[in-house]
Amino acid sequence: NDAVVTRNKVRETLRLFQAICRKLLHEEEAKVKERGKTRRRVDLQASKILKEKGKYVNIGEHIIGSVPGVEVGDEFIYRVELNIVGLHRQIQGGIDYMKQDGKLLATSIVSSGAYDDDTDNSDVLIYTGSGGNMMSGDKEPEDQKLERGNLSLKNSMDAKNPVRVIRGDSKGADSVDARGRTYIYDGLYLVEKCWQEIGSHGKLVFKFKLVRIQGQPELAWNVVKKSKKFKVREGVCVDDISQGKEKIPICAVNTLNDEKPPPFKYTARMIYPHWCRRLPPKGCDCINGCSESRNCPCLDKNGGGIPYNYNGAIVEAKPLVYECGPSCKCPPSCYNRVSQHGIKFQLEIFKTESRGWGVRSLNSIPSGSFICEYAGELLEEKEAEERTGNDEYLFDIGNQLNDNSLWDGLTSLMPEAHSDAVVEVQNSGFTIDAAQCGGVGRFINHSCSPNLYAQNVLYDHDDKRIPHVMFFAVENIPPLQELTYHYNYMIDQVFDSNGNIKKKSCHCGSPECTGRMY
């Protein structure tokens, strides 16, 4: 297995891991509710499944320097993810190392985020060596020795070899989710200095000063932190494009020129035509919230379970998700109500070089999170075709990728966990037009390797032909990374009013780009 590990392969592997975690967590949550059992570590179970199936990447020789397919700024929720992609192979140890010509050399370290705060310089990291029983309460503390990890860092200083730094971020990233700390790959550092001092446990510890190698991209997390500190985001031209219609303001940022977003009417909700009578579904009676054990009819419609984890992440892509709705007796905090509550990340629209405006988040987004709805006016397709003016903001309902291609591999790895509710939501003859009236979803651009997918959701009515179109994250998304989904156009299948084939080139910039949107 010496094929070059691509970016796509790494993303695919991590997506698969995260999907398995959500699936296992879902099973755990159903059990915990029933028996109050303590939780198994789903991350360790998921990694075991991946390992057994040979899905780990970069598993050969230890690598000094960059790891193929992993980029500076990549975020991880579970520490074992670092291991799965070959970024840091120690399960617990903070220093990973290898032997080269009989000498130990450090390859990577995981820092708990203890920065040299005096200098407020995020390019400098003071790292404490390992050993000496610093952490364990039941063992006698002792001096740290110049062996293993500590020795490897000292040797790396002498040899001037780059060391990968992964920051375990406790005070940093604004993860809305409480799944623990986020790990961020901070890039390559050089060990500049090494000394001994008396540690908090009264014994000698090793200290290492690492300095980030110049020329690497700045962490988005730092950019966001700076703009918070100075309370301005560079290039802001509209403070809130939603004009108070969303719970969190959405600003418009343009650092390229002085253009503002073209006018449109903001709506956070779908707008339905007068002929469209939407009947509320019969709700459930779960006064204390819905759960698997309470025979909730809403959960039955989802194939017997809540389609979400308790942290709000969607477990897997489905043809249709039924959330509880206005006629249900469960409280707003019911785990079966997620996308109806609206945006929960601080989103902004920004001017791109070649794709008009796009959308990104100032927060870190964990895989599976709800992002926003594609809100606009509901039209019948015929009507949409008549609106010849602007077809750039049309979303054809039922035209989503239903082949699960973004979650590939899950069913083959966990066949027993596969839900069999594969009722296709075909092209239903309805379109959402967000040209004149729309929500932030209208600004999300297409990508050939996207980080979001569109999920059909019903909650306030029962008409399967016109579900809400809700975007969810298919992977962990660092702050400021553009949010995209696959428009799913078919090449040479888009026509103008004279029946001529329309062509549009794609500027998504991903290595998988096919060159054309349609």
Q: What are the phi and psi torsion angles at 452 (to 5°)?
A: -125, 165
Which CB atom, from 68 or from 358, has the smaller least distance to ligand SAM? Answer: 358
**How far out from the chain centre does Cα 400 lie?**
19
Closest CA to 173 of 125, 221, 217, 220: 221
**Residue facing ligand SAM at closest CB distance:** 356
Give the count of beta carbons closer than 10 Å to the beta carbon of residue 387.
Answer: 15
Residue 440: DSSP 8-state: G
Using CB under 6 A, pick the residue from 108, 428, 508, 518 that binds ligand SAM.
508
Which CB atom, from 366 or from 398, has the smaller least distance to ligand SAM? Answer: 398
Residues 477 to 506 in contact with ligand SAM, rule: CB under 6 A? 506
Residues 415 to 454 in contact with ligand SAM, rule: CB under 6 A? 442-443, 445-447
**Site for ligand SAM contains 507 (CB under 6 A):** yes
**Site for ligand SAM contains 237 (CB under 6 A):** no
> What whole-number distance in Å separates Cα of residue 310 and Cα of residue 390?
40
Helix H or strand E segment including 456: strand 452-458
Using CB under 6 A, pick the residue from 34, 142, 392, 408 that binds ligand SAM.
392
Show the 3-state SS of 184-240. EEEEEEEEEEEEEEECCCCCEEEEEEEEECCCCCCCHHHHHHHHHHCCCCCCEEECC
Which CB atom, from 36 or from 389, has the smaller least distance to ligand SAM? Answer: 389
Supply the minimum distance, in Å, between the C-beta of residue 392 and ligand SAM: 4
Inter-residue contact 43 to 51 (CB < 8 Å): no
Which CB atom, from 264 or from 272, has the smaller least distance to ligand SAM? Answer: 264
Inter-residue contact 306 to 292 (CB < 8 Å): yes
Supply the minimum distance, in Å, between the C-beta of residue 9 and ligand SAM: 22
Which CB atom, from 393 or from 453, has the smaller least distance to ligand SAM? Answer: 393
Strand partners, 266: 438
Supply the minimum distance, in Å, between the C-beta of residue 386 and ligand SAM: 19
Which CB atom, from 261 or from 342, has the smaller least distance to ligand SAM? Answer: 261
Helices (H), 330-477: 381-386, 410-413
**How would you classify the pairing of strands 430-438 and 265-266?**
parallel
Using CB under 6 A, pick the residue from 23, 89, 245, 355 that binds ligand SAM.
355
Which CB atom, from 127 or from 443, has the smaller least distance to ligand SAM? Answer: 443
Sign of the dihedral through C-alpha 191, 192, 195, 200:
negative
Using CB under 6 A, pick the residue from 356, 407, 419, 436 that binds ligand SAM.
356
Which range of residues in 43-51, 212-220, 354-362, 421-429 is near ligand SAM by CB under 6 A? Answer: 354-362
Inter-residue contact 95 to 130 (CB < 8 Å): yes
Which CB atom, from 242 or from 447, has the smaller least distance to ligand SAM? Answer: 447
b/e map 4-21, b = 16+ CB within 10 Å: ebebebbbbbbbbbbbbb
- Binding to ligand SAM by CB under 6 A, coded x per residue (else -) over 299-338, reads ----------------------------------------
Supply the minimum distance, in Å, between the C-beta of residue 446 and ligand SAM: 4
> What whole-number distance in Å separates Cα of residue 386 and Cα of residue 497?
9
> What whole-number distance in Å separates Cα of residue 345 and Cα of residue 474?
15
Supply the minimum distance, in Å, between the C-beta of residue 287 and ligand SAM: 41
Which CB atom, from 154 or from 486, has the smaller least distance to ligand SAM? Answer: 486
Task: Compute how many residues bind ligand SAM; rule: CB under 6 A.
Answer: 15
Inter-residue contact 235 to 255 (CB < 8 Å): yes
Supply the minimum distance, in Å, between the C-beta of residue 263 and ligand SAM: 12
Which CB atom, from 115 or from 443, has the smaller least distance to ligand SAM? Answer: 443
Which CB atom, from 76 or from 393, has the smaller least distance to ligand SAM? Answer: 393
**Site for ligand SAM contains 357 (CB under 6 A):** yes
Residues 166 to 195 in contact with ligand SAM, rule: CB under 6 A? none
Sign of the dihedral through C-alpha 234, 235, 237, 243:
negative
> How far apart are the two ends of the chain, measured CA to CA in Å?
36
Which CB atom, from 418 or from 507, has the smaller least distance to ligand SAM? Answer: 507
Taking each continuous run of H as one helix and of E as one strand, the counts in the chain are: 8, 21
Which range of residues in 71-79, 176-184, 276-284, 351-359 is near ligand SAM by CB under 6 A? Answer: 351-359
Report the interface residues with ligand SAM, using CB under 6 A: 355-358, 392-393, 442-443, 445-447, 506-508, 517
